[in-house]
Chain A
Amino acid sequence: MNPLFLEYTVVLLGIILLMVEAFLPDLDKKKIALAGIAGLFFVLFLTWMPLHSLSIESAPFYTTDPLALFFKRFMIVMTIITLWMSLDFIPVIQRGIPGERPGAGVGEFFILPIFACASLMWLVSAISFIMLFVSLECMTVVLYISISYLRKDPKTLEAGTKYLILSALTTGFLVYGITWIFGITGTTSIEHLADSIALLPPQSLTPLLFGVGLVLVAFCFKIAAFPFQFWLPDVYQGAPTPITAFLSIASKAAGFVLLLRFLEQLYLIPTLGKKVFAVTTLLAMMTLLFGNLAAMAQTNMKRLLAYSSIAHTGYVLMAVASIGAALALPAIGFYLVAYLAMTSLAFIVLLIVTETSGGNEIYCFQGLHERSPLLAAAMTVAMISLAGLPLSAGFFGKFFIFQVTFQQGHYGLLGVGTISVVAGIYYYLKVIKVMYWKQPSQGSAPITLSKLTTVLISLLIAVILILGIYPTPILMSLQ
């Protein structure tokens, strides 16, 4: 099977659903989401089919190495989860959109992530700057729409505008950086970047470094590394919750794939690599400190998760800075998978609690244990895993990352990492505390969950616990 067929199927799925939405206006919108989920499961199944190599024309742009395949699956799974949790979000969408019919605008909300998924799948396969730029923009355009989807809510519009302006700005950085790199090396290929740099005279390394810096700025914006994280809390808070989850997981993971492919090449050039990795180490330290320390003061759950997402960027950056270790790549892959499971679980619980308690402040979680033991248990598992306590996926993730950092001898980074972990235990346990220590506030009713949601929550809990004991399959698929 031609590997490009995977993306084509996803795009086709999106177009068909769009047509269905347009021509059958009375259709129950839930069915569109369910069809989307089924279609994506089919594509996920297709990724295990034998893929043959590509034709000469597309080969310089597109790769199907294990890293790409791994993250294609990652993106599909994340899109499935996004659609699945959106099912509980339908009432909010209906309230948030001015429309004549009650179902107006709901269908598209399920279809947009599918297109984003296709562009992300291209993105993780991109080995040329052109391909990278086009698919990145493709994804960003979908996110512009999705983030400001609930037009009646001014907060959402604010988030959308912020994301639009800052994203456009970084796009500028990216293009400018790419042109500098192209101007000096004469190539747009990422795969052969190291070879081209090796041929350069030493005096052109400084201008090259300028280009590299510009590209790094753009990537850091995508993964929300300090000091390019300032957009994130506001955008997370304003965006519709499923989109926040998508943004925080899929878009971040894609950013890391790009960063990895780019830095892997620079690592091969010792003179350049040293400088770039010193910067990466510094970025990792600052991101860890900023994310964790700022998260401690948060009282809003969504903002807490936003800062926690910055903190986790820091942990992954620790491994990126130690890219020379044999286990660095599997460690990053595993961490992101664990991050997918635990963060999406937290967002699902947040979504349901927001729906039933009328807010997403942390105090809305008061006595959740007495309102719905399953939700409280799910949030506990998610928080334990995010905090990196053992026998959960998050622990293994941190474990591998600290191990590779140790192996590379980044002791300063380890020290900062230790402070971050302890800070993390504090703010994640704060949520557990509210759920168990406090009584439910007056007038809050028990929460009943739909069957589909229960299934999704139980699945994610199981994944977190199983990966916490048996991480081997994920780890091996990237080695």
Chain B
Amino acid sequence: MSPLLFLIILPLVAIVLILAGAPARVTSLLATGFNLIWSLLLFFHYDTVIGGWQYLQETRLIPQMGLNFTLGADGLSLTMLLLTTLVSFAAIWVTPKLERSPSLFYCCLLFISAGLAGAFSSLDTFFLYGFHEIALIPVFIMIGTWGSGDRQAAAWKATLYLGAGSFIVLLGIIALYLAAPSSMRSFDFRVMAELSQNEMSHPASWIYLILLVGFGTLVSLFPFHSWAPSTYASAPAPTAMLHAGVLKKFGLYGLIRLALPIFPAAVGRFSTLLLFLLICNILYIGYVTMAQRRLDWTIAYSSVMHMGTIFLGLVAFNILSLSGAALLMFGHGLSIAALFALCGALRSRTETLSYHELGGLAQLFPKASLLFGFGTMASIGLPGFTNFAGEILIFFGATATVIIDQGSLSFMIAIIAALWGVVISAIYMLRAYRAVFFGPLIKAEGWINTKDLSFYEFAPITMLLVVLLITGIFPHLILNLVNTAFR
């Protein structure tokens, strides 16, 4: 049996135990804590010399159709799995005391975690898709039940957008499957890639566009991004952490697994289109982010904007840029999760996150201010954090593509836009940091709580930031593994 199966089953077991009456918080902390240790073991146990797919397990379901339940991981999957377990553990740790059905809340978080673990360890596109999709239901329930602001509208918007996006992905997957000759059809993406590389199957390039739209919606690629800000602003902090940090990365992961190896020619042919969209992501969304006047909306929009940089890594399509994209996925996942956790902590104290009602909070909450400062630096991409390593690799990779391509103009514009994006993100993040934490202290009467972060808030956020620093200073920890996937 594959050791990866534990990552999926353990949260499910914890859900059953909680429904049977076990204490919700302790059980889920234990389950996700164990999962974190387990995924770390798997991460360091992976043999980078051999590379390729390890921890394999294949269960035959419908052999006639080539549909199997296959688990396995390479360096990229392991990185994403580590991100999943890290953020799940932190999200459950920072979950505050709830008035309404707390056990349901923990069950939902565990369910998302199980779905993510399944999605990142499945080699069969069918289950890759399926595990991701089931994680949408708990998100829907959580935003609607425990969210803030206009939560019901946000929950609907997110679910319909993501539901439509994943359904388009499904159509793309079926089309890919049917493109192979009928005796060799398989849902295994390794087989799909192999067949098209050996010219056994000839998937039409419009399938690439279908996948791009589908996965793009999941990653909030411009112009399919409008679900993202409202969702993250309304979702309870742990949900936003898991969704923005990990669930959204699934779309990128899917593109790396399916679209790039199967359609190398189409990626090149449609690169101008994708470059245009990602420039919109960086510049247009970047300026929209600058115009935000609330902390949660700023961070939510920033998470949309940063996807543009990762897309640049994908479309540049060489080992340098792809590794950078993977590294940035990891780094962005951790930093955005830390920022959303801090947002949630502030909201539970002040009940407002709008800039003109806040200021000088550093005097009241020095710990929160310190952590937010680190989060800001990480998000901007300052050296020392993983985000910096990822971004710099993407820029190098993209520049390399330009030089080999004899200077494609659209690529150069995209690189310049992405570099400008770093400046934009510095502007809005530092502005946000100043508006909330510095200047004269504005304190309203109605504040619920004026105590600084408790241990249960401080520790998990610190954990996320420490991991960011470690992998930022020693990026080879991740790059060694990720490189095996792109060799």
In angstroms, Cα B152 to Cα A327, docked, is 41
Beyond known contacts A389-B133, A403-B177, A406-B178: 14 more, CB 8 A cutoff = A373-B19, A389-B134, A390-B131, A399-B170, A402-B170, A403-B178, A418-B164, A425-B159, A429-B140, A433-B144, A433-B152, A436-B104, A436-B145, A437-B144
Interface locus among A158-166, A447-455, A467-475: A467-475
Q: Distance (Å) between the CB of A464 and the closest chain B CB?
A: 13
In angstroms, Cα B69 to Cα A479, docked, is 21
Q: Distance (Å) between the CB of A462 and the closest chain B CB?
A: 13
Q: Distance (Å) between the CB of A392 and the closest chain B CB?
A: 8
In angstroms, Cα B159 to Cα A426, docked, is 8
Identify which of residues 407-432 in chain A touch chain B, using a CB-to-CB cut-off of 8 Å. Answer: 407, 414, 418, 421-422, 425-426, 429, 432
Q: A interface vs B, CB < 8 Å?
A: 327, 369-370, 373, 380, 384, 389-391, 395, 399, 402-403, 406-407, 414, 418, 421-422, 425-426, 429, 432-433, 436-437, 469-472, 475, 479
A402-B134 in contact given A369-B101, A370-B101, A422-B163 (Cβ < 8 Å): no
Q: Mark B116-149, 1 if CB is under 8 A from A, else 0.
A: 0000000000100111011011001100110000
**Chain A CB within 8 A of B441 CB:** no
The majority secondary structure among interface residues of chain A is helix
| Pick from A390, A395, A418, A472: contact of B168, CB under 8 Å | A418
Q: B interface vs A, CB < 8 Å?
A: 19, 61-62, 64-65, 69, 101, 104, 126, 129-131, 133-134, 136-137, 140-141, 144-145, 152, 155-156, 159-160, 163-164, 167-168, 170-171, 174-175, 177-178
| Pick from A391, A402, A422: contact of B174, CB under 8 Å | A402
Say yes or no: A429 contacts B134, CB within 8 Å: no
Q: Distance (Å) between the CB of A229 and the closest chain B CB?
A: 25
A429-B159 in contact given A390-B131, A436-B141 (Cβ < 8 Å): yes
In angstroms, Cα B141 to Cα A249, docked, is 29
Nearest B residue to A389 via CB reads B133
Nearest A residue to B63 via CB reads A472
Say yes or no: B69 contacts A422, CB within 8 Å: no
Say yes or no: B136 contacts A389, CB within 8 Å: yes
Instruction: Tell me which residues across on chain B come within 8 A of A426, comparing CB atoms.
Output: 156, 160
In angstroms, Cα B63 to Cα A472, docked, is 9
| Pick from B61, B141, B167: contact of A432, CB under 8 Å | B141
A422-B137 in contact given A433-B144, A471-B62 (Cβ < 8 Å): no
Instruction: Tell me which residues across on chain A come within 8 A of B129, comparing CB atoms.
Output: 390
Instruction: Tell me which residues across on chain A come within 8 A of B64, comparing CB atoms.
Output: 479
Q: Distance (Å) between the CB of B106 and the closest chain A CB?
A: 14
Q: Distance (Å) between the CB of B261 and the closest chain A CB?
A: 22
Q: Distance (Å) between the CB of B421 and the closest chain A CB?
A: 32
Instruction: Tell me which residues across on chain B come within 8 A of A436, comparing CB atoms.
Output: 104, 141, 144-145
A384-B131 in contact given A422-B164, A425-B160, A436-B144 (Cβ < 8 Å): no
Say yes or no: B168 contacts A432, CB within 8 Å: no
Say yes or no: B141 contacts A421, CB within 8 Å: no
Say yes or no: B69 contacts A384, CB within 8 Å: no
Q: Distance (Å) between the CB of B162 and the closest chain A CB?
A: 9
A395-B144 in contact given A373-B19, A402-B170, A472-B62 (Cβ < 8 Å): no
Shortest 7 CB-CB distances between A and B: which pairs?
A390-B130, A437-B144, A425-B163, A390-B133, A422-B164, A436-B141, A391-B130
In angstroms, Cα B160 to Cα A426, docked, is 7
In angstroms, Cα B155 to Cα A421, docked, is 18
Say yes or no: A414 contacts B171, CB within 8 Å: yes
In angstroms, Cα B352 to Cα A326, docked, is 59
Instruction: Tell me which residues across on chain A come within 8 A of B156, comparing CB atoms.
Output: 426
In angstroms, Cα B167 to Cα A414, docked, is 11
In angstroms, Cα B156 to Cα A391, docked, is 22
Q: Distance (Å) between the CB of A123 and the closest chain B CB?
A: 30
In angstroms, Cα B144 to Cα A345, docked, is 25
Nearest B residue to A407 via CB reads B178
28 A-B residue pairs with Cβ-Cβ distance under 8 Å, sorted by A, are A369-B104, A380-B137, A384-B134, A389-B136, A391-B130, A395-B130, A399-B174, A402-B171, A402-B174, A403-B177, A403-B178, A406-B174, A414-B171, A418-B167, A418-B168, A418-B171, A422-B164, A425-B159, A429-B140, A429-B159, A432-B137, A432-B140, A433-B152, A433-B155, A470-B61, A471-B62, A472-B61, A475-B62
In angstroms, Cα B219 to Cα A457, docked, is 37
Instruction: Tell me which residues across on chain B come within 8 A of A395, comparing CB atoms.
Output: 130
In angstroms, Cα B15 to Cα A373, docked, is 13
In angstroms, Cα B65 to Cα A370, docked, is 42
Say yes or no: B131 contacts A403, CB within 8 Å: no
Say yes or no: A422 contacts B167, CB within 8 Å: yes
Instruction: Tell me which residues across on chain B come within 8 A of A407, comparing CB atoms.
Output: 178
Instruction: Tell me which residues across on chain A come within 8 A of B131, comparing CB atoms.
Output: 390-391
In angstroms, Cα B140 to Cα A471, docked, is 27
Instruction: Tell me which residues across on chain B come within 8 A of A433, comparing CB atoms.
Output: 140, 144, 152, 155
Instruction: Tell me which residues across on chain B come within 8 A of A390, comparing CB atoms.
Output: 129-131, 133-134
In angstroms, Cα B178 to Cα A402, docked, is 11
Instruction: Tell me which residues across on chain B come within 8 A of A373, comparing CB atoms.
Output: 19
Say yes or no: B69 contacts A469, CB within 8 Å: yes
Q: Distance (Å) between the CB of B137 and the closest chain A CB?
A: 6
| Pick from A391, A421, A437, A471: contact of B134, CB under 8 Å | A391
In angstroms, Cα B19 to Cα A373, docked, is 9
Q: Report which residue of A370, A390, A470, A479 has the largest number of chain B beta carbons within 10 angstroms of its beta carbon.
A: A390
Nearest A residue to B136 via CB reads A389
A406-B175 in contact given A369-B104, A436-B104 (Cβ < 8 Å): yes
Nearest A residue to B151 via CB reads A437
| Pick from A369, A406, A432, A437: contact of B152, CB under 8 Å | A437
In angstroms, Cα B145 to Cα A471, docked, is 34
In angstroms, Cα B171 to Cα A433, docked, is 27
Instruction: Tell me which residues across on chain A come within 8 A of B152, comparing CB atoms.
Output: 433, 437
Say yes or no: B130 contacts A403, CB within 8 Å: no
Q: Distance (Å) between the CB of A250 and the closest chain B CB?
A: 27
Q: Distance (Å) between the CB of B234 and the closest chain A CB?
A: 13
In angstroms, Cα B171 to Cα A403, docked, is 9
Instruction: Tell me which residues across on chain A come within 8 A of B101, comparing CB atoms.
Output: 369-370
Instruction: Tell me which residues across on chain A come within 8 A of B65, comparing CB atoms.
Output: 327
Instruction: Tell me which residues across on chain B come within 8 A of A479, comparing CB atoms.
Output: 64
Say yes or no: B160 contacts A403, CB within 8 Å: no
Q: Distance (Å) between the CB of A339 and the closest chain B CB?
A: 19
In angstroms, Cα B127 to Cα A469, docked, is 9
In angstroms, Cα B177 to Cα A422, docked, is 22
Instruction: Tell me which residues across on chain A come within 8 A of B136, comparing CB atoms.
Output: 389
Say yes or no: B134 contacts A422, CB within 8 Å: no
Instruction: Tell me which residues across on chain B come within 8 A of A437, comparing CB atoms.
Output: 141, 144-145, 152
Q: Distance (Å) between the CB of A420 and the closest chain B CB?
A: 10
Q: Report which residue of A429, A432, A470, A479 has the largest number of chain B beta carbons within 10 angstroms of its beta carbon.
A: A429
Instruction: Tell me which residues across on chain B come within 8 A of A471, comparing CB atoms.
Output: 61-62
Q: Distance (Å) between the CB of A379 and the closest chain B CB?
A: 13
In angstroms, Cα B174 to Cα A421, docked, is 16
In angstroms, Cα B63 to Cα A475, docked, is 12
In angstroms, Cα B260 to Cα A407, docked, is 24
Instruction: Tell me which residues across on chain A come within 8 A of B140, comparing CB atoms.
Output: 429, 432-433
In angstroms, Cα B163 to Cα A471, docked, is 23
Say yes or no: A421 contacts B167, CB within 8 Å: yes
Q: Distance (Å) between the CB of A366 and the closest chain B CB?
A: 13
In angstroms, Cα B175 to Cα A105, docked, is 55
Instruction: Tell me which residues across on chain A come within 8 A of B137, comparing CB atoms.
Output: 380, 384, 389, 432
Nearest B residue to A377 via CB reads B19
A422-B62 in contact given A373-B19, A406-B175, A437-B145 (Cβ < 8 Å): no
In angstroms, Cα B133 to Cα A399, docked, is 14
In angstroms, Cα B136 to Cα A414, docked, is 23
Instruction: Tell me which residues across on chain B come within 8 A of A389, comparing CB atoms.
Output: 133-134, 136-137, 163
In angstroms, Cα B61 to Cα A399, docked, is 15
Say yes or no: A422 contacts B160, CB within 8 Å: yes
Q: Distance (Å) between the CB of A402 and the closest chain B CB?
A: 6
Instruction: Tell me which residues across on chain A come within 8 A of B164, comparing CB atoms.
Output: 418, 422
Instruction: Tell me which residues across on chain B come within 8 A of A403, comparing CB atoms.
Output: 174, 177-178
Nearest B residue to A437 via CB reads B144
